[in-house]
Amino acid sequence: MDKKSIIAMLLAGGQGSRLEGLTRDIAKPAVSFGGKYRIIDFSLSNCVNSGIDTVGILTQYKPTLLNSYIGIGTAWDLDFPQGGVHVLPPYMAEDGVNWYRGTGNAIYHNMDFIDSYNPEYVAILSGDHIYKMDYAKMLRFHKEREADLTIAVIEVPWEEASRFGILTVDENDMVIRFSEKPKQPDSNLASMGVYIFNWPVLREALIEDERESQSHNDFGKDIIPMLFRQGKSIFAYSFKGYWKDVGTLESYYETSMDLLEEEPELDIFDKSFRILSNLDILAPQYIGHEARVSNSIISNDCTILGEVENSILSTGVFIGEGASVKDSIVLPKAVISRKAHIRKAIVGENYHVLPGTMVGGGIFGEPSSRVTLLSHGY
Amino acid sequence: MKNVVGIISGICNSAALESLTKSRPISTVPFGARYRLIDFALSNMVNTGIRTVGIVTPYNYRSVLDHIRSGKDWFLDRKSGGLFFLPGNDRENGGSGSNFVLRDLLENMDFLKKAREEYIIISCSSIVMNIDYREAVSFHQNNDNEVTFIYKDEGFKEGESEGVFFIEQSGDRRVKEIIPGKQRRFNGSDKALLNIVIINRETLTRIVEEYGENGDSDLFDILGEMIDSLRAYALEFRGYAARISSLKNYYNHSMKLLDSRVRNELFMRKNKIHTKITDNPPTRYGEKAEVINTLAGSGCIIDGHVEGSIIFREAQIEQDAFIKDSIIMQRNVIGKDVLLENVILDKFVTIKDGTVLRGEPGNPIIIEKAAVIGPEEGDNEKYNLRSG
């Protein structure tokens, strides 16, 4: 096999339990987002837009929908004869079944896969972030600095810095300190969970970390701190742009609603960096005689007979006559029956809201703070 | 449907839609916010389980190749069978009036001979319908037919039926006569053929070899001549079918898509109409958008007032634009304060701020592909155009 310059390993096995009912039946990367997308579309599209043609996708938690959604990567133009997309579930070996115990351990169990491509570099990505990023630029930076490991970072507001893994760097962008959720941060550069490793360095580190019985086998907690202690050259690549971890229901809601800004930071209409997805065959959307739609994103196969304001509707959603949906996110194939009123809510996939239902923050005049989730998994 | 091969004629009526068919054949005329007319014929074959389809290419078929490519979006990129392009002869005049020119099939005899399948379904590409051929194919097989037609009573009025073939049947559904529209008798049959025929491969091969050299003979004309010697039967299609044969009925049939019964029948069934996948974002409705009774594709940005209209993929409609009873095709840009009523805009049209285009009901104004319409720089008069 020809030597590859870089391959990507996409961590998509997380349960995403803080997304509550949205991940009862499906893995977090498979959760619908932004109308027609699923969360993993962003990382996969980033790969193809960055010229990475080989992606291993590590799945574990409830992978059925995710696996069939990914297929062989055709929808992202990633079905290549030498490379392409490979779904990598945990497997049984001589020593028993090896569930992935941590992010590092998941990669450890797939070292043979990576070796088969014999790459110089391995990008470790998360399947649950919303962002558009050209990894080729980060790789160029990694090569220029002759780094062993490059960590993508983003500037976060100082008051939020204590929620993230914070990196402190010197004037050459070399990392001089790590602090996980520091109480008194001395930097506001947060790790995005996007790493480029020299494969031999990562390979050795994974083997060493496995021997460590106390280790969680996690990149952030164990492997990167170990490399730091060993004095490896670790750099921070500063990403300028929009990046969100949609780990909680609130952040999922806020990130979705960002798309409704007048000039959204995340431009899904930009043809030069398209977000690709794998969709069913769908009819056009129909807006009815009595309908009202404003400041909203509406996907194919929707039928809107009622009122939609400041909301995001995924594919195949039905809004009945006299119904209203405001400040809400309605996921694929959900039905909002006639005269139902939904405020500041997330309506899960295939969920049916019965006629006349009134749900959501502020609907009875109380202050509307929390997002309501309506889903089968709630 | 292992025993059936499909052939789609891209030729029928290919120049009938005035400027819409100037730069493209009728097969690739945009329809229904995200489709091309050929999507219906092709999807019907695929949904019936046919895995080998030949497309007889019309004149100027760049857009057909661009749209269909490998056939992947119809699951026709197969190792065995799949999609075949059959270059047609008929390039210059667009074969107006003809449906299935036998000479085109003669040129592609290899395709017919190589097929191992016993039956062939031939369909034209300008009828909008969602049909599963399974029932007709089993009738054809079980009844030992040589030819099976599909017809529909479309309520054609006197003098409207040029280019349409009608049939007379006997009680057992056998076809006694095929009558070209021009010769249709007053109070004659209302059974109009839907330009779909199931035919034994052997019978078709024989006809093509015998008549293919003979000028521009049309398969339906020849079948009409031979009708007494053929085991020819016909079945009625009771669903929705829209025959696109003029700009006027293109407009009217487009507007029928705003009727939920028509939409349900065409798009909401188990058998879906496939089209080229483009990976657009969803459609964005702005703060000031007012949209009612409208069918829209993906990737549009709509800020204006739209009613009773069909909006194709990636159209942009700016604030205070007013659009009524119009067809707005892919990547049209409609400026501020524009008024459009009874208008068809072909793809890539730009309508500058303040322009007014008002066609008469039933007589839409049509704007050619990629036109830029509106006042010149420094011209303060509003650009105003009326049809008639």
Nearest CA to A289 among B254, B258, B384?
B258
Q: What residue ranges of chain B are covered by domains with CATH 2.160.10.10?
A: 284-386
Phi, psi of B240 (to 5 degrees): -80, 130
From the list B279, B288, B291, which residue is nearest A287 (CB)? B291
Return the DSSP state at A350: T
Of the pLDDT bands very low, low, confident and very high (cuts 50, 70, 90), residue B377 is low
CB contact under 8 A, B281 and A269: yes
> With an 8 Å Cβ cutoff, is B298 touching chain A?
yes
For chain B, positions 3-62, list CB contacts with chain A under 8 A: 32-34
Report helix, strand or coil for B40. helix
The residue with greater pLDDT, B96 or B272, is B272
CB contact under 8 A, B299 and A269: yes
> With an 8 Å Cβ cutoff, is A65 touching chain B?
no
Each residue's pLDDT tens digit in chain A (378 positions)?
457 899 999 999 877 788 888 888 889 999 999 999 999 999 999 999 999 999 999 999 889 999 999 999 999 999 988 899 999 999 888 888 888 989 999 999 999 999 999 999 999 999 989 999 999 999 999 999 999 999 999 999 999 999 899 999 999 999 999 988 899 999 999 999 999 999 999 999 999 999 998 999 999 999 999 999 999 999 999 999 999 999 899 999 999 999 999 999 999 999 999 999 998 889 999 999 999 999 999 999 999 999 999 999 999 999 999 999 999 999 999 999 999 999 999 999 999 999 999 998 777 766 667 899 998 864
Q: What angle do CA A127, A133, A135 make, to 5 degrees?
A: 90
Q: What residue ranges of chain B are covered by domains with CATH 3.90.550.10?
A: 4-267
> With an 8 Å Cβ cutoff, is B372 touching chain A?
no
Q: What average pLDDT score do residues B250-279 get?
A: 95
Q: What pTM value is reported for the model?
A: 0.93
**Number of CB atoms found within 10 A of residue B276's CB:** 15
CA distance B74 to chain A (A): 10
- What six digits make up the tokens of B97? 């009036």
Partners of A333 on chain B (C-beta within 8 Å) are none
For chain B, positions 104-143, list CB contacts with chain A under 8 A: none
> With an 8 Å Cβ cutoff, is A283 touching chain B?
yes
Percent residues over pLDDT 70 in chain B: 93
Q: For residues B331 and B347, is the Cβ–Cβ distance under 8 A?
A: yes
Return the DSSP state at A150: E
Cβ-Cβ contacts under 8 Å between A and B: the total is: 97
List the strands of the sheet with A285-287, edge to edge.
Answer: A352-353, A335-336, A318-319, A303-304, A285-287, B294-296, B310-311, B327-328, B343-345, B365-367
Task: Give the C-alpha separation, B17 to B25, whole Å.
Answer: 9
Rg over CA atoms, chain B: 22
How close are the terminal C-alpha atoms of chain B, in Å? 50
Q: What burial class does residue B316 get, using C-beta atoms within 10 Å of its C-beta: 0-12 exposed, 13-18 middle, 19+ buried?
A: buried
Partners of A279 on chain B (C-beta within 8 Å) are 277
pLDDT in tens, B336-350: 999 999 999 999 999
Residues contacting B256, CB < 8 A, separation 6+: B242, B262
pLDDT in tens, B148-192: 999 999 888 777 787 889 999 998 999 999 998 888 877 778 899
CA torsion B140-B144-B145-B146 (nearest 10°) is: 120
Residue of A nearest to B31 (CA): A284
Q: What average pLDDT score do residues B58-62 get?
A: 84
CB contact under 8 A, B296 and A287: yes
CB contact under 8 A, A284 and B294: no
Nearest CA to A282 among B313, B238, B323?
B313
Nearest CA to A343 among A364, A367, A321, A327?
A327
Mean pLDDT of chain B: 91
CA distance B127 to chain A (A): 18
What is the pLDDT, as a whole number, of residue B383?
A: 60
What is the pLDDT, as a whole number, of residue B155?
A: 85
CB contact under 8 A, B292 and A288: yes
Return the DSSP state at B75: T
CA torsion A321-A327-A329-A333 (nearest 10°) is: 0
Of the pLDDT bands very low, low, confident and very high (cuts 50, 70, 90), residue B225 is very high
What is the pLDDT, as a whole number, of residue A180?
A: 85
Task: Give the C-alpha separation, A142 to A287, whole Å.
Answer: 50
What is the pLDDT, as a whole number, of residue A16?
A: 77
CA distance B253 to chain A (A): 16
Partners of A277 on chain B (C-beta within 8 Å) are 279
* CATH for the stretch B284-386: 2.160.10.10
What is the pLDDT, as a whole number, of residue B310?
A: 98
CA distance B267 to chain A (A): 6
CB contact under 8 A, A284 and B274: no
> With an 8 Å Cβ cutoff, is A298 touching chain B?
yes
Handedness of CA B97, B99, B105, B106 (dihedral sign): negative
Partners of B294 on chain A (C-beta within 8 Å) are 286-287
What is the pLDDT, as a whole number, of residue B384?
A: 63
Q: For residues A275 and B268, is the Cβ–Cβ distance under 8 A?
A: no
Task: Give the C-alpha separation, A112 to A94, whole Å.
Answer: 15
Task: Give the C-alpha separation, A206 to A203, whole Å.
Answer: 5
- DSSP percent split of chain B into helix, strand, coil, nearest 5: 25, 30, 45
CB contact under 8 A, B285 and A294: yes
Partners of B298 on chain A (C-beta within 8 Å) are 36, 284-285, 299-300
Partners of A290 on chain B (C-beta within 8 Å) are 292
Greatest C-alpha distance within chain A = 68
Could you tell me the CATH superfamily of domain B4-267? Spore Coat Polysaccharide Biosynthesis Protein SpsA; Chain A (3.90.550.10)
What is the pLDDT, as a whole number, of residue A370?
A: 85
CA distance A373 to chain B (A): 23
> With an 8 Å Cβ cutoff, is A367 touching chain B?
no
What is the pLDDT, as a whole number, of residue B23?
A: 84
CB contact under 8 A, B263 and A283: yes
Q: For residues B64 and B49, is the Cβ–Cβ distance under 8 A?
A: no
pLDDT in tens, B183-217: 887 777 889 999 999 999 999 999 999 988 877 78
ipTM for this prediction: 0.92
> With an 8 Å Cβ cutoff, is B288 touching chain A?
yes
